[in-house]
Amino acid sequence: MKKCTRSFPHSQKGLDFTIANTPEHPGSLLTAPGDAYTMGARPPPSSLFRLSIMSATLVSIALLLLLPASVLAQRVGTLTVVEGDLRVIRNTAVLRVSQGARIDWGDILETGGRGFAQVECDTGAIVALGSASQLFFFSHSGYSGATGGELVLRSGWLKVETTSKVGPYLYDTPLLAGKTKDGTLVLQAGAELSEIFVESGSAGIVELTGGGSGNEFRPAKAGQFFSRNRGKNVAVSPRPAAAFMDAMPTPFRDTLPSGLSHIKGKPPEPRREREVSYADLRPWLLMPARWRRDFVTRFESRLNDPDFRRELESHIRDHPDWEAALHPDKDPSKK
């Protein structure tokens, strides 16, 4: 049995391909463990035919691995509502997108002071981002059984209505995370305070470490409110705090209406504004290591920009994981 693994940084998802032809599974050509699909073939009539099919499969995989990131990107869903300022960081570019645009795993969405955005996932989940908010579509495979995917709210407001067909989603903030398959959550995130309101359905809530990981999820039911200040344990209340409700974005006070029926035709192409700068990335480069685990690989090409390199060099104490990329001659593993 031959195994080939490659991770695609832009999608944050590793594809684990296994070429198998065993007595238990004769003629099985391609499986993707952990995914919702398996491709197979019936036992071929001859070993020569089997060999030719396996060779063709290997060639196909090789060609797949050579495709550009934009082709290999895995789709999240559709941007059905956009108001005010919204920008997307995709691969290494800053984009401007409009209603009907495709959103991919690995995308970073940032709204302005009067911005609002709603993404309707292909799984049925609806994700709404409030003003002055930053959201990272981190991982398609998710964490701790969140097979629908994992999203990171670095700052601002997020409302999610999850009726996933493929498994629960995990929603992270700097201090708390919520996991749900059939619930509606409202999250508010900041460096010193994170809050999660279970508006309906059920969920699991967990405190996160400085590295972005958690331990055991505690069950949560509709109406409960979870709040955690940095350095403190989570506080649980039977109803949301008045300050939370007062600050909640107005669109979050009602059920999020679907906008898919208003989207017609081919998705509009995003407008490329420029390459991402160090200033654009700095807040994301400082978030917990688990969420930025592929950022060096993803953004390493930006070191060819003298301004980006200079800014990163001047802040290298904040980014020790970039040391080897900046100075490969000092990396013992490359000697």
Among residues 109, 112, 119, the alpha carbon closest in space to that of 256 is found at 119
Task: Compare 38 and 110 and report the one with higher pLDDT.
Answer: 110
Over the stretch 25-57, which tens digit does the pLDDT of each residue have?
333 222 223 333 223 344 444 555 455 545 554
pLDDT of residue 12: 40
Percent of the chain with pLDDT over 70: 74
pLDDT of residue 198: 98
Beta strands in 84-175 (DSSP E): 86-90, 93-96, 102-104, 108-111, 116-121, 126-129, 134-139, 149-161, 169-172
User: 265 pLDDT band (50/70/90 cuts)?
Assistant: confident
Find all residues with CB under 8 Å of 25, minimum gap 6, and list them.
40
pLDDT of residue 262: 86
Helix (H, G, I), strand (E, B) or coil at 205: strand
Rounded to an integer, what distance in angstroms lies between the CA atom of residue 235 and that of residue 226?
6
User: 331 pLDDT band (50/70/90 cuts)?
Assistant: low
Count of CA atoms in the C-beta half-sphere (13 A) of 317: 1
Instruction: Say what the pTM is.
Output: 0.77
pLDDT of residue 35: 31
Top-tier CATH class for 73-262: mainly beta
pLDDT (mean) for 157-180: 91
pLDDT of residue 50: 55
- Identify the H or E element spanning 306: helix 306-314
Rounded to an integer, what distance in angstroms lies between the CA atom of residue 204 and that of residue 202?
7
pLDDT (mean) for 98-121: 96
Q: CA geometry: angle at 30 spanning 7 and 12, to 5°?
A: 20
Pairing of the two strands 149-161 and 169-172: parallel
Pairing of the two strands 126-129 and 149-161: antiparallel
Count of CA atoms in the C-beta half-sphere (13 A) of 186: 23
pLDDT (mean) for 183-197: 97
Find all residues with CB under 8 Å of 174, minimum gap 6, and list them.
154, 189, 190, 191, 194, 208, 230, 287, 288
Percent of the chain with pLDDT over 90: 65
CB 163 within 8 A of CB 185: no
Find all residues with CB under 8 Å of 152, minimum gap 6, and list them.
135, 136, 138, 172, 173, 287, 291
Boundaries of every domain in the chain = 2-70, 73-262, 294-334
Q: How far is CA 148 from CA 10, 193, 290, in A?
A: 17, 26, 18
